[in-house]
Structure 1
Amino acid sequence: MISSMVKSAKRLQRSLRPVGSVDALAGARVAGWACSKGPVEVEVWLGNRRVATCLPSIARPDVAQAFPRMKGAATSGFSLDLPAGALAPDDLAEMKILARPRNGILPASTIGTFPVVGANLARKFATAGDSGIVGPFPKDVIDATAAVWPEACADLNTVEGQTRFVDRLKQVMNTASLNALPVFSRYSRYLSATMAHCRFVERHFPAVNTTSAQGAADFHCKPNSISELFSIIHQLYVLKSWGISGDFAEFGCFKGYSSAMLSYACAQLGINMHIFDSFEGLPPAPGSGYEAGQYAGSLDEVRDHVERFGHLPSVTFHKGFFADTFKTYTPPPLMCLWMDVDLEVSSQDLMVVADRLDPRASLFSHECTSGIFQAGEIRTSVSPDNPIPPMLARHEELGRPLTGRYVAGYTGAFWPKQGGIPVIDTEVLAQLTRSLP
């Protein structure tokens, strides 16, 4: 009985709450309409400050026709100007417009919420200089953000610092006048386009390996999640923004699922992509738990998949086991590499390319777990099925010891401790992509 009464009271309250809409927001002027079954007052709030109020009084025959039982609907229109100085020139705030019953009993209704931009903000973003701050975001985006909100760029190497930065970026990207600035529009457009493409590939790429038995390790053709591959896609944009030149290399492509996503990203950035694979499956590796020939995708099959689901003109294929390929082939300078090679011996064979990597380059590898990344150090042990130790050892030899972070699934990211460009935390990147307009 009591529950029924409460529900009835709530329905009555909803029926008595004001209704309204904001029709125009131009400069400092807000216009719209608001009415209820009793007198209402319109309030404008910036953040937690009420900065303007007015009583609706402008004729609105359209509202009266739509709400004939609402008192004052015929004169429910309003137009008001924000007072000078209500918004600081360098500020970005949320404007909320409320319609509040004047009886002081019923709650107000929110009839509009908008981001508002201070007069100087766009100019400060557009004319930002070099901040000197290094982090896992595009250089120009960091510089622009630091010019306005230096506190948001205070510690970009931690998850907490990256989250603060992304919170500000989300505000910018959801404010049309700011997201239209080239520094932000280029970035958000790239993220939107590449994420949409990843989802397309995930939906339409062949799911099973028809040459393998159900239940076999290589039966499924999609060994990586979007989260894993999108971390690489994001880092390619970041590296290019920092002026790091060179090509991108993928070692081990199986059926070309990751290749389809990554080649599209490379095409967006004008980066050449190289795919190295035997196209005959894994080499023999006693004691690894893998069988020779597992994870095989023919060159014709992978090429077809990249053409259908990725960007074939961006890709050069290199057929052969790594040890044989690099007897005669010297790769071009590289900005980033991704390896899904499963085996220690394969990693050893491909690490001849390490001296072709830019000293600030990034590396991504499958066969990683979160436990190997400990306070900036990488703790792992040598075994036939572990490709990480040869990578670490080779970079130690080059005087570029690596640090890194866990990405997702079985993927980890690595970069030089000194001078490397760090990789964004996966959940922070997910927060950013979810907020894209």
Structure 2
Amino acid sequence: MTKAFAPRGNVDAVAAGRIAGWALGRGPVRVEAWFEDMCIVRCEPSIARADVAAAFPDVRGSGSCGFAFDLPHQRFGDEFVGELRIVARPLKPWLPSATLATLHIAGPLAAKALASPPDSKIRGPFPRAVIDAIAVRWPEDCTELLTVTGQRRFVNRLVKVMETPDLNALPVFADYARYLSTTFAHCHFVERHFPQTNRSAAPGSNDFHCKPNSIREIFSIIHQLYVLKSWSVDGDFAEFGCFKGYSSAMLSYACKQLDLRMHIFDSFEGLPPSSDAGYQAGQYAGDIAEVRDHVTRFGAVDAVEFHKGFFADTFRDWQPPRLMCLWMDVDLESSARDLMVVADRLSPEATLFSHECTADIFQNGSIVTRPAPDNPIPPMLARHEELGRPLTGRYVAGYTGAFWPRENGIPAMDAELLMEMARLLR
């Protein structure tokens, strides 16, 4: 049998257990609803559909091919969650059938259980309430969340929940999806419209391009901000080294959505002098007025406080606020050492992100690196060892890595999987 002989149709609406649509074949058809391996409803289309008749005027029965039925919850209880296949089957058994739709459905008690879950005490790189909600029904999908395999299993379950009417409307899921979709879209807006090149730099120089980071790098920070807030990690967010404000535009928008205060620390005069680092003093300069304009046009400047000056000067007489997370793209070991005075103001569960990272420094939970003038990682590790909060971490993407306290920190999600999840949920 060829595909041309199969019925055609569509499911137009799914609401409060009622399924409605249309189905049309070369002869009479029956519509069936299959829940897993059980047929729970059968009906024959008979509802007038003038729109279908107009689209298929030469097909007999097109004017009355609509169907609607209610799911018999009593057949499988009010706590069900699963897949429902809507099949159009010709009454002539030798003709092929067609699946009109595969729907994710849930009973009213299932939604109620996920709406107010108990504390699962499961820690991982996802919002706390989201983990608790998934754990109520699918605890097996909440194990090994520190591994990429465990995170993928959790994401697969989360995507199915997000595709299920009544469940995806719950605030715990809808709020998370809204944050991901809006910030992800904003990152792509900034990537597309932010100035490409630094007019004050010579072509071929290190700082000629104004977009030194990828969306994958910055979106990992954006996601982690939501996660940290969900776990009640207190404090503001800080960016050290902003260049022209490309990452600032993305991150400030996320902070605005979360009602977080963002602090941007930069000399706005470029890098300080440093011997043997491969950088020249004054590189990566962005005038504060220029950066403020970029954050205003491409981000959320009202969420931001600017702090002008080299780090050693800024923190000589001024104490930074409490911080939940920081992002540093400072290039130099000396700059990292100067800003590490803020480690005292970091929450014990804070996450740190840094540029100048490569994948090979993350080895089985340890961070293996050596001091060098252009390596800002050792001062960060050393200061946290002094504070009794040794760090672990994971590679993110590009030249960015994520770090968190080994004992009490909230791990960051695998960046590749995060991007996949963001695309599926937008």
Q: Give me the whole-angstrom Cα distance separating, in 2, the residues matched to 1:341 and 1:31.
A: 58
Q: Does 1:40 align with 2:26?
A: no
- Does the residue aligned with 2:392 lie in a helix, a strand or coil? strand
Q: Which amino acid aligns with 1:248?
A: F
Equivalent of residue 119 in structure 1, options 90, 108, 115: 108
Per the alignment, residue 188 of structure 1 pairs with 177
Separation in 2, partners of 1:283, 1:64: 74
- 2:381 maps to 392
- Distance, in Å, in 1 between the alignment partners of 2:314 and 2:70 is 71
Q: Paired residue for 1:91, among 75, 80, 89?
A: 80
Is contact 1:155-1:161 (8 Å) kept? yes
Q: Hey, what's the Cα distance between the residues in 2 that align with 1:351 and 1:320? A: 15
Match among 134, 155, 160 for residue 145 of structure 1:
134
Q: Percent identity?
A: 63
1:379 and 2:364 aligned: no
Q: 1:327 is paired with a residue of what secondary structure?
A: coil
Instruction: State the alpha-carbon separation in 2 of the partners of residues 296 and 386 from structure 1.
Output: 19
Structure 1 match to 2:357: 368
1:121-153 CA-partner distances (Å, limit 9, x unpaired): 111111212111111111111111112221111
**Residues 159-190 of structure 1: CA deviation (Å, up to 9, x unaligned):** 11111111121122223422221112221111
The TM-score normalised by the length of structure 1 is 0.92
Corresponding residue for 1:341?
Answer: 330
Structure 2 vs 1, CA of residues 398 and 145 (structure 1 numbering), >3 Å: closer, same or farther?
same
Note closer, same or farther for the CA distance 1:62–1:342 as it changes in structure 2 (3 Å cut).
Answer: closer
* 2:8 match: 19
Out of 141, 145, 152, which is 1:163 matched to? 152
Secondary structure of 2:316's counterpart equals helix
Q: Aligned-pair RMSD on alpha carbons? A: 2.0
136-145 vs 227-236, which moves further:
136-145
Q: Distance in 2 between matches of 1:283 and 1:65?
A: 72
Are residues 373 and 129 of structure 1, via their aligned partners in 2, closer, same or farther at CA, if it must alter by over 3 Å? same
Larger deviation, residues 205-214 vs 37-46: 37-46
Tell me the equivalent position of 1:355. Answer: 344
Please say if residues 260 and 309 of structure 1, whose CA atoms lie closer than 8 Å, have aligned partners that are also in contact. Answer: yes
Q: Please, which of 300, 323, 326 is the counterpart of residue 315 of structure 2?
A: 326
Report matched runs for 1:92-111 at 5 Å.
92-111=81-100
Q: What's 1:434 paired with? A: 423
Give distance in 2, aligned partners of 1:391 and 1:256: 23
TM-score by length of 2: 0.94
Cα 1:263–1:42 shift into 2, 3 Å: same
Once the two structures are TM-superposed, the CA of residue 67 in structure 1 deviates from its matched residue by 3.5
- Distance in 1 of aligned mates of 2:59 and 2:161: 38
Q: Which SS does the other structure have where 2:264 is aligned?
A: strand
Deviations 1:214-234 (A, max 9, x none): 111110000000110011011
Distance, in Å, in 2 between the alignment partners of 1:21 and 1:105 is 22
Which of 185, 196, 200 is the matching residue for 1:207?
A: 196
After the TM superposition, list the runs of 4 or more consecutive aligned residues in structure 1 that deviate by more than 6 angstroms. none
Deviations 1:216-271 (A, max 9, x none): 11100000001100110111111111111111111111111111111111111111
Are residues 233 and 144 of structure 1, via their aligned partners in 2, closer, same or farther at CA, if it must alter by over 3 Å?
A: same
> How far apart are 1:46 and its partner, in Å?
2.1
**Closer, same or farther in 2 for the Cα pair 1:356/1:122, shift >3 Å?**
same
State which drifts further: 267-276 or 412-421. Answer: 267-276
Structure 1 residues 196-216: Cα deviation after superposition (integer angstroms, max 9, x where no partner)? 211111111111000001111
Task: Please give the per-residue CA displacement for 1:291-316, whole angstroms capped at 9, x wherever unaligned.
Answer: 11111111111111111111112211
For residue 223 of structure 1, the aligned residue among 204, 212, 218 is 212
Aligned match of 1:178 in 167, 175, 191?
167
Match of 2:238, SS state, is strand
Listed one character per residue, the Cα deviations across residues 110-129 of structure 1 (whole Å, up to 9, x for unaligned) are: 22333211121111111212
Counterpart in the other structure of 2:124 = 135
What CA distance in whole angstroms lies between the structure 2 residues aligned with 1:24 and 1:275?
48
Deviates more, 1:102-111 or 1:252-261: 102-111
Task: For residues 315-345 of structure 1, give each alpha carbon's deviation from its aligned partner in whole angstroms, at most 9, with x where no partner exists.
Answer: 1111111111111111011111100011111
CA distance 1:35–1:340, change in 2 (3 Å): same
2:347 is paired with a residue of what secondary structure?
strand
Which residue identity is paired with 1:351?
A: M
Tell me by how many angstroms 1:379 deviates.
0.9
After superposing the two structures, state which structure 1 stretch, 71-80 or 245-254, moved more: 71-80
- Structure 1 residues 198 and 66, CA, compared in 2 at 3 Å: closer, same or farther? closer
8 A Cα contact 2:73 2:107, kept in partner: no
Sort the Cα spacing of 1:28 and 1:307 in 2 relative to 1 into closer, same or farther, 3 A: closer
Aligned residue in 2 for 1:410: 399
Q: What is the CA distance between 1:280 and its match in structure 2?
A: 1.0
| Alignment-mate amino acid for residue 174 of structure 1 | E
Residue in 2 aligned with 1:301? 290
Gapped regions of structure 2 (runs ≥ 5)? none
Match of 1:247 in 2: 236
Number of paired residues? 426
Moved more, 72-81 or 402-411: 72-81
